Structure 1
């Protein structure tokens, strides 16, 4: 059995994996050849496991395989009868966080809005931010809105097999939100009594560059106005933001 754990980058996927591992002992594999996140923050922390070569055998197995991806549905070997947990975050926060990670800004663990960056770092950050906003949609991850729409509106989904998890809820009540998602897609899997769930503050101390702020609305002091306008100018972004209720 496959459970897809899908999201646009920097939408809470890694935090969900960590809680899933601690609360249920469910490990995750990835669609990619290398799990860069597990290599960076630790395979035991995220609960990494190697992916079998044949996805069709994973799907037919009695074993549960949780499979992480950031790709759009059209670039993922997903079927309508698969189970899916899709994580969403305000697209402005996602692209800001992605740009920081890609430009290696904020690795000291301190708050690192553009007003606190050197000029060189600011340029690098804004270059990465623009590239994230205007990323081609024909393959892979695509733009934020294209990614969200591909997973949220695929017509083959069964409502009982497709769960949308909001980042703002996950950060506030991680154990409860993960429990609710697992209860829907894997109702026969019990949680581990007395599971120790790390707080975001603990994860931040582990790697402040990766677990950077963990906040809602970080775009307000980090997304330059001209790039926010560029974000909203992408039709799929505007449609997905309206669909999810994120206000302009």
Structure 2
């Protein structure tokens, strides 16, 4: 068994929130851990610096050929488990797994209602909601490489979920449950990671330090290096916004494309 615990999600599903919680719980800082220092403890698998020198350009085949080597190097970042953020689906591309099984200890998969994801992801990327709905239906959907990162293969929202649900040694956590009952579901994450008995005061403090209000305040005060050019990264942090902001036709299109998986997760 490997050392990587994948912090996996489709984009805009709560991955950064969970990373912030883990940093505050495990490191136990005196003040809320900086959102711009998350890489000190958990890293983003897609960071270009792991794959090539600045200014170098690689094809998707070249990136995939390097992924097992990159993941092996990531296991050396810490003596114990290594937390690695990914938005990749747990699939293969060019015959190479996007998340190398040999280096995997387990996965924490965060999922969110795709109707809210469509709204949040559209705002983050600057795309229209209809464009984002179409993107989330596309089995070939990917985020392209740029100077900061190599490509991420997302596939469709449904296939992304299926790929991670089928993986061994994984814990699935719904964004909505973290919002509704944070003490229960964040404690569940800690127990899954096997880092010892959950300490109530430590848990409450970590939840407070990683609350949406705290994260948004940090972004307003310090900026956030993962924010887009289209506005804030931490926008509202609520669930069910789709009821007021999607048209009936948009909501129906998402349900038609992803209804089977949405039913399995309790979203419809």
Distance in 1 (CA, whole Å) between partners of 2:191 and 2:135 is: 34
Instruction: State whether structure 2 residue 72 is matched by structure 1 residue 31.
Output: no
**Residue of 96, 100, 105 corresponding to 1:78:** 100
Q: What residue number does 1:199 align with?
A: 211
CA contact (8 A) 1:28 1:65 kept: yes
Q: What residue number does 2:140 align with?
A: 137
**Residue of 240, 245, 259 corresponding to 1:238:** 259
The change in CA–CA distance for 1:20 and 1:87 in structure 2 (over 3 A counts) is: same
Please report how far the alpha carbon of residue 175 of structure 1 lies from its aligned counterpart in structure 2 after TM superposition.
5.2
Distance in 1 (CA, whole Å) between partners of 2:240 and 2:43 is: 30
- Structure 2: runs of 5+ lacking an equivalent: 28-39, 50-67, 93-97, 143-152, 221-231
SS in 2 for 1:77: coil
Please report how far the alpha carbon of residue 204 of structure 1 lies from its aligned counterpart in structure 2 after TM superposition.
2.7
Distance in 1 (CA, whole Å) between partners of 2:212 and 2:129 is: 26
Please report how far the alpha carbon of residue 34 of structure 1 lies from its aligned counterpart in structure 2 after TM superposition.
5.0
Deviations 1:75-133 (A, max 9, x none): 42232863110001111111211111111xxxxxxxxxxxxxxxxxxxx5234423433
- Structure 1: runs of 5+ lacking an equivalent: 36-51, 104-123
The change in CA–CA distance for 1:133 and 1:227 in structure 2 (over 3 A counts) is: farther
How many residue pairs end up in the alignment?
204
The change in CA–CA distance for 1:134 and 1:167 in structure 2 (over 3 A counts) is: same
Q: What residue number does 2:160 align with?
A: 147
Please report how far the alpha carbon of residue 190 of structure 1 lies from its aligned counterpart in structure 2 after TM superposition.
7.1
Query: Higher mean Cα deviation, 89-98 or 76-85?
Result: 76-85
The change in CA–CA distance for 1:164 and 1:172 in structure 2 (over 3 A counts) is: same
Please report how far the alpha carbon of residue 172 of structure 1 lies from its aligned counterpart in structure 2 after TM superposition.
3.4
Cα RMSD, aligned residues only: 2.9
TM (norm. structure 2) is 0.66
